[in-house]
Structure 1
Amino acid sequence: MPTSHVPAPDLILTGGTVHTVDRTRPRAEAVAVTGGRITMVGSAAEVSAVAASSTEVVDLCGRLLLPGFVDAHNHVRLGSDEDSAQLAGADSLAEVHRRIAAWAAAHPGADWIEAEAFDYGAIPGGRMPTAADLDVVTGDRPAFVLTYDVHSVWLNTAALRRLGVTRDTERLPFGVVEKDPATGEPTGFLTGFAVLGLARDGQRALAEFLPWAGDSRRYHRLCRSLDMAAESGLTTVVEPQNSLDDLPLFERARGEGRLRSRLIAALFHGRGTTAAELDEFAAAAKKFDDDQFRVGPLKLYIDDVVEPHTAALLEPYANEPGNSGRTFYDPEEFAAVLTELDRRGFQTFTHATGDRGIRVALDAHEAARRANGPRDARHQLVHVECLHPGDVDRFARLGVVACMQPRHGAPDVAGPGKDWAEGVGQDRWAHAWAFRSLRDAGTTLAFSSDWNVAEMDPLAHLYTAVTRRDRDGGRAWVPEQAITLEEAVEAYTLGSAYANFCENDRGSVTVGKYADFAVVSQDVFAAPAEALRDAAIDLTVVGGEIVYAR
């Protein structure tokens, strides 16, 4: 590139490998930045020639510069609560008991025992936990335990009593009460928390009694997650599920300088959302509409999750004959909802996990397109975990993006012997997290972490997408659905940018786009895939400003 018309840059990053995700120039050695945007991509000599005395020069020392990661589905507002007992990695009921007992002893004055990240697999035999399982370590103090996917809640007997739950209680504002089929009594397990408990009314109900749901804890979780985002090389984050009540948290974070990554906030469209509420959503989208903080898409659910057998399957669960899960809407109702949202110009993110849930959602998008005509809507199906092969080609044909989280499909999370794999059964494994099939069919893949359900670290997700192995490098699960590193990086950058209508200024290292970069500690393209497990984010740049340096 000629240098005569390139303005003196504010920042130059040179001396490494630049993987641009730009097919017109896939590789380079250096990048120049002026006014927050990329003004030059080229060789070290070319870019160094435009440096001025005022230019800050960062020597990459052989490291890899990527476009900043665009995390298309990251619950930064929900986050992880360090004031709760942490159950991640507790793989037995005894270990769960030990951690909860330790937390309770360390917090003798706490009115509620609070815990998070319970793994369904800690209970032997694939059964769901009961109040009695908690009572042995919690005593008369009420306990509120979130599952690792934040889709279910585990309560003890004291909590059931405190909340007034009896055999006649069908649901609370934040969850559906599961009953013992033999006795009809509440088991202590609530499903549907992601749909009810994270909605506006559910959050308000929780805030009346649970410290976890209070404003100070919510803001602390948000700030901690935003710090992690910068440290993880995430230059744009999509927060997929918020109510209008949550938007002041983001305003505060921005005003206090905590919002270092760009953020797109989706609003939750629960069943029964009114036309008046849609008007409020549209007004919020107009109010918050810049490249640092934007509000706009709508989040819906068609089904739940596989582990507690609440995702909708075409055939019954392999380990629970007679149960095929459920959808939150009848197909005709969901098609009508999607058609109206599409008519009004909204972009939608639909949580769809099971093969029947995915099919019902695709049918709804097809109905919307038939009624309204095609448009560049970029509607997304999120998760797409158990996909029927007959539906693979429909994504590209309907212009629907597959927003997926590779670590969810790792063998140590969902593979053989785990609740997910055993629930869907081996006959359906071939299209579990079907990255290769979808990409080959022309589908846009948008990768994301789904923090705090999985690690926020994008390198961990890239490793799984490329190898289909667990972090220890064991046997690959469904390796035929692996994709290349180039394809995985594109899904985590340009694919996610496209999915969120920001590919013109993000997602690749291209002149004119924002100077949003992630610098990786080594060139993982020049090393075996295992290098992704050891690599780290050394530097994060947003708009030409270094927002994190390791």
Structure 2
Amino acid sequence: MNRPADLIVHNAHVHTVDEARPRAEALAVRDGRIAWVGDGDGWRELAGPATEVVDGRGRLLLPGFVDSHNHVRLGSDAACVQLAGAADLAAIGARITAWLARHPAADWIEAEAFDYSAIPGGRMPTAADLDPYTGGRPAFVLSYDVHTAWLNTAALRRLGITAATGEIPFGTVRKDPVTGEPTGFVTDFATRGLSRDGHRALRAAGLPWASPDRQYGRLCASLDQAARYGITTVVEPQNSLDDLALFERAIAEGRLRSRLVAALFHPRGTTDAELAEFAAAARRHRGDRFRVGPLKLYIDDVVEPHTAALLEPYAGHHSHRGETFYPPEEFAEVLARLDAAGFQAFVHATGDRGIRTVLDAVEHARRVNGPRDARHQVVHVECLDRADVPRFADLGVVACMQPRHCSPDIAGPGRDWAEAVGEQRWSKAWPMRSLHEGGATLAFSSDWNVAEMDPLIGLYTAVTRQGLAGGEPWMPGETVSLATALRGYTLGSAYANFLDDRLGSLTPGKLGDLVLLSQDLFGLDPKAALDTRVDLAVVGGEVIHRAG
């Protein structure tokens, strides 16, 4: 006779994401794995004196959420001035002034989450915009997408950035086209500032934000959020080898309750010796709780500051259409080399030309290496040309997307994203339904802290393409069904990360990762997702979150 189960959930709507048995009423977990899925009172035979039995009361039981792109190491920093929601320069200045009043001895002013739309006239910010509010203290301000940094005059001086400055380790210094002086705006921060060399340079300059202790604080706070939101597997998409010590510390101190996959950052110019170090790290960390392995690359940047690569010029520009970080031929050779070595690539691509460059590179890799189950990912897929939609399925490329990004209150009409590409290209915006119907695998994620971590917010946006306050949907023809969205946050993301053999569906034999929501979303108005919480989150049969 089999030993009793450790955990049983019954009287629930069990949405399994398993085509062999899509729906059930009860589930049992034993020794960290799903032992049984069924209906009625069949669970009673598995219950013993020590079994935890949870009455689902008709609530929705799901596989644990797999957040396929979540910057838990960046997180949201409590020591920074928080600028989310500051709609203009005056509001930004007021928050900085209030923070300075509370921290009069601060050596640096650090702030995060400024929105490009807060800068008047659609221009990019300058040091002169910050100077009136910073009292001569150096200020370092990150955009909400962490792709750009904004410095005041004192910070430029502290960091030694002048008209004579060329390349810097943590970004590209924008200069006034007339005077040649640095404007205070630094682009390419995500591709340089978050690199190993970039972080070391910022630490050497004395920036507290880049210190290991501050990073660890952000990591722990984000991991706690992940557990609360039922994210049982986190994919941290961009790390250097130095950063792995943070995860090892979290494991040693019991702070890593969810599973975690860490991708390593592959900047342009990565050497064979560094690739060997990446492979060695992957061999060291290959467990079910913590795994290292995929490589993160960039082909372009972001739409709002006009640094994504578009096929046609940006709206209102005669010729500017952004640049790719690699010439296409070079990128194709880089990807083919990584593919031949067995690496999986996560490639950031937002513009339609950037995305096409990645797809062309995957096609080249398959041609020279032969097809294999590589599951390379295009991450973000924000502006996709219709001709490239079927290529995802044809090439086996995963579309790793963040539904919340396409919300009208973030990217839609009147916002910087929509205005930058122009209305004639809005039909290209986050084409989730087209990709799904074209046979592509969708892997959904939050991109925390660019957007809220809560998967229920992502589900709501994927199904409605409305803002959090409701209103008119933006490009509603690209919404997806609730079942499709749930698959994107579970089995789709598990597949995208080579975890579908053990995670992503409530199938006997798979690991016991599951979430019980506070209500059954099926049959309810989609907005009900915003009023729903995770009542129970379980990893390998162990409860990591229980609502009070």
Q: Out of 192, 205, 211, which is 2:201 matched to?
A: 205
CA distance in 2, matches of 1:412, 1:323: 26
SS for the counterpart of 1:464 is: helix
Is 1:53 aligned with 2:49? yes
CA distance in 2, matches of 1:125, 1:493: 41
Deviation, 1:353, is 0.3
SS for the counterpart of 2:10 is: strand
Please list, as runs of the form range in 1=range in 2, the aligned pairs for 1:15-94 lying within 5 A after superposition: 15-94=11-90
Deviation, 1:169, is 1.4
1:410-430 alpha-carbon deviations (Å, 9 max, x no partner) = 000000000000000111111
Give the structure 1 partner of residue 420 of structure 2: 423
Q: Out of 190, 199, 205, which is 1:194 matched to?
A: 190
CA distance in 2, matches of 1:369, 1:169: 41
Deviation, 1:198, is 0.2
CA distance in 2, matches of 1:67, 1:6: 24
Q: Out of 510, 513, 516, which is 2:513 matched to?
A: 516
Q: Does the CA-based 8 Å contact 1:6-1:39 persist in structure 2? A: no
Deviation, 1:47, is 1.1
1:132-174 alpha-carbon deviations (Å, 9 max, x no partner) = 0000000211000000000000000111111111112133210
Is 1:450 aligned with 2:447? yes
Q: Out of 464, 480, 483, which is 1:483 matched to?
A: 480
Q: Which one-letter code corresponds to 1:72 in the other structure?
A: S
Give the structure 2 partner of residue 340 of structure 1: 337
CA distance in 2, matches of 1:405, 1:140: 39
Deviation, 1:320, is 3.1
Q: Out of 448, 455, 459, which is 2:456 matched to?
A: 459
Deviation, 1:6, is 5.0
Give the structure 1 partner of residue 146 of structure 2: 150
Q: Out of 113, 126, 129, which is 1:130 matched to?
A: 126
Deviation, 1:316, is 0.6
CA distance in 1, matches of 2:317, 2:532: 41
CA distance in 2, matches of 1:190, 1:54: 58
Deviates more, 1:382-391 or 1:528-537: 528-537
Give the structure 2 partner of residue 223 of structure 1: 220
Please list, as runs of the form range in 1=range in 2, the aligned pairs for 1:397-408 lying within 5 A after superposition: 397-408=394-405
TM-score (normalizing by structure 2): 0.99
Please list, as runs of the form range in 1=range in 2, the aligned pairs for 1:149-188 lying within 5 A after superposition: 149-188=145-184
Deviation, 1:282, is 0.3
Q: Does the CA-based 8 Å contact 1:319-1:422 persist in structure 2? A: no
Deviation, 1:534, is 1.0
Deviates more, 1:164-173 or 1:24-33: 164-173
CA distance in 1, matches of 2:530, 2:221: 23
Q: Give structure 1 regions of 4+ aligned residues with deviation exceeding 6 angstroms.
A: none
CA distance in 1, matches of 2:81, 2:398: 36
Deviation, 1:58, is 1.2
SS for the counterpart of 1:512 is: coil
Please list, as runs of the form range in 1=range in 2, the aligned pairs for 1:144-543 lying within 5 A after superposition: 144-208=140-204, 209-543=206-540
CA distance in 1, matches of 2:207, 2:323: 29
Deviation, 1:48, is 2.2
SS for the counterpart of 1:360 is: helix
Q: 1:139 to 1:38 in 2, by over 3 A?
A: same
Deviates more, 1:314-323 or 1:536-545: 314-323
CA distance in 2, matches of 1:82, 1:114: 10
Deviation, 1:23, is 1.1
Q: Out of 80, 87, 98, which is 1:102 matched to?
A: 98
SS for the counterpart of 2:11 is: strand
CA distance in 2, matches of 1:252, 1:165: 35
CA distance in 2, matches of 1:99, 1:151: 21
CA distance in 2, matches of 1:264, 1:164: 37
CA distance in 2, matches of 1:542, 1:416: 40
CA distance in 2, matches of 1:77, 1:374: 34
Deviation, 1:536, is 1.1
SS for the counterpart of 1:524 is: coil
1:90-134 alpha-carbon deviations (Å, 9 max, x no partner) = 111111000011111111111110000000011122110110000
Q: 1:124 to 1:44 in 2, by over 3 A?
A: farther
Q: Which one-letter code corresponds to 1:16 in the other structure?
A: A
Q: Which one-letter code corresponds to 1:294 in the other structure?
A: R
Deviates more, 1:56-65 or 1:154-163: 56-65
SS for the counterpart of 2:163 is: coil
CA distance in 2, matches of 1:288, 1:500: 15
Q: 1:470 to 1:171 in 2, by over 3 A?
A: same
Q: Which one-letter code corresponds to 1:496 in the other structure?
A: S
RMSD: 0.9
Q: Does the CA-based 8 Å contact 1:88-1:118 persist in structure 2? A: yes
Q: Which one-letter code corresponds to 2:55 in the other structure?
A: D
SS for the counterpart of 1:526 is: coil
SS for the counterpart of 1:171 is: coil
1:160-217 alpha-carbon deviations (Å, 9 max, x no partner) = 1111111121332101000112222111000000000000000001112100111111
Deviation, 1:279, is 0.3
- Structure 2 unmatched ranges of 5 or more: none
Q: Does the CA-based 8 Å contact 1:6-1:40 persist in structure 2? A: no
SS for the counterpart of 2:301 is: coil
CA distance in 2, matches of 1:514, 1:229: 18
Deviation, 1:323, is 1.0
1:343-402 alpha-carbon deviations (Å, 9 max, x no partner) = 000000000000000011111111100000000000000000000001001111111000
TM-score (normalizing by structure 1): 0.98
Deviates more, 1:274-283 or 1:54-63: 54-63
SS for the counterpart of 2:41 is: helix
CA distance in 1, matches of 2:61, 2:89: 44
Q: Which one-letter code corresponds to 1:28 in the other structure?
A: A
CA distance in 2, matches of 1:234, 1:128: 35
CA distance in 2, matches of 1:119, 1:321: 26
Q: Which one-letter code corresponds to 2:115 in the other structure?
A: D
Is 1:112 aligned with 2:108? yes
SS for the counterpart of 1:115 is: strand
Q: Does the CA-based 8 Å contact 1:450-1:456 persist in structure 2? A: yes
1:295-350 alpha-carbon deviations (Å, 9 max, x no partner) = 00000000000000000000011033321011000000000100000000000000
Q: Give the paired residue count.
A: 546
SS for the counterpart of 2:46 is: coil
CA distance in 2, matches of 1:91, 1:221: 25
Deviates more, 1:228-237 or 1:173-182: 173-182
SS for the counterpart of 1:70 is: strand
